[in-house]
Structure 1
Amino acid sequence: MNNNEFYACRICGTEQLDPPWGVDGQTPNYDICDCCGVEFGYEDMSVDSIKVYRQKWVESSADWYRKKNKPQEWSLEKQFQNIPKQYR
């Protein structure tokens, strides 16, 4: 992971192939995160909604939305380091 704020999910920190909020950080692509299942531009519209979604996801075991894409040696703690600071 390169911790690039434009490519990391604001909820879980998973690096995306395309910037979830565009390179301007303002234009969501409405894709779904393979890890936490958030729809970019819907459930991550504000810092408050991001924190609520993240808390619910973690409380429900932080299960991967698309389990087949989960890396073998996945670490939630390491992945959380990719979340841009303004969304932690």
Structure 2
Amino acid sequence: MALWFCRVCGLDYDESPWGADGRTPDHTLCACCGAEFGYHDATPEAARPFRARWLESGAEWFYPNVRPAGWLLPPQLAQIPAAYQ
């Protein structure tokens, strides 16, 4: 199974919120950083400042009830697609 990674925080997803064609966002929110897929991650120029604000505010989970036990931020950030880092 291929994984898709949030362009803002690197959280892994089983399916792309950008659809099968990679260009049709569903506008859901990332469970970790709260980015709206198709808005906050539409371009690298949109993703980077959203990420910076999220990190500056403490990198809290948007939906804390789904935060995995033992979660670590640095390995997740390393999963951000290269063009969006």
TM-score, normalized by length of structure 1?
A: 0.87
Runs of 4 or more above 3 Å deviation: none
Counterpart in the other structure of 2:48: 51
CA distance in 2, matches of 1:3, 1:33: 18
CA distance in 2, matches of 1:54, 1:62: 9
RMSD over aligned Cα atoms: 1.7
Structure 1: which 5+ runs fail to align? none
CA contact (8 A) 1:13 1:81 kept: yes
Q: Tell me the CA shift for residue 22 of structure 1.
A: 2.2
Counterpart in the other structure of 1:31: 28
Matches within 5 A, 1:53-72: 53-72=50-69
Q: Tell me the CA shift for residue 56 of structure 1.
A: 0.1
Residue 12 of structure 2: SS of its match in structure 1?
A: coil
Moved more, 16-25 or 64-73: 16-25
Residue number among 8, 11, 16 corresponding to 2:13 in the alignment = 16
TM-score, normalized by length of structure 2?
A: 0.90
Residue-by-residue CA offset, 1:43-67 (whole Å, 9 max, x unaligned): 1111111000000000000000000
Structure with higher strand content = 2
Q: Tell me the CA shift for residue 24 of structure 1.
A: 2.8
Count of residues paired in the alignment = 85
Residue 79 of structure 1: SS of its match in structure 2?
A: helix
Percent of pairs with identical residues: 39
CA contact (8 A) 1:8 1:20 kept: no
Residue number among 25, 32, 37 corresponding to 1:40 in the alignment = 37
Letter paired with 1:47: P
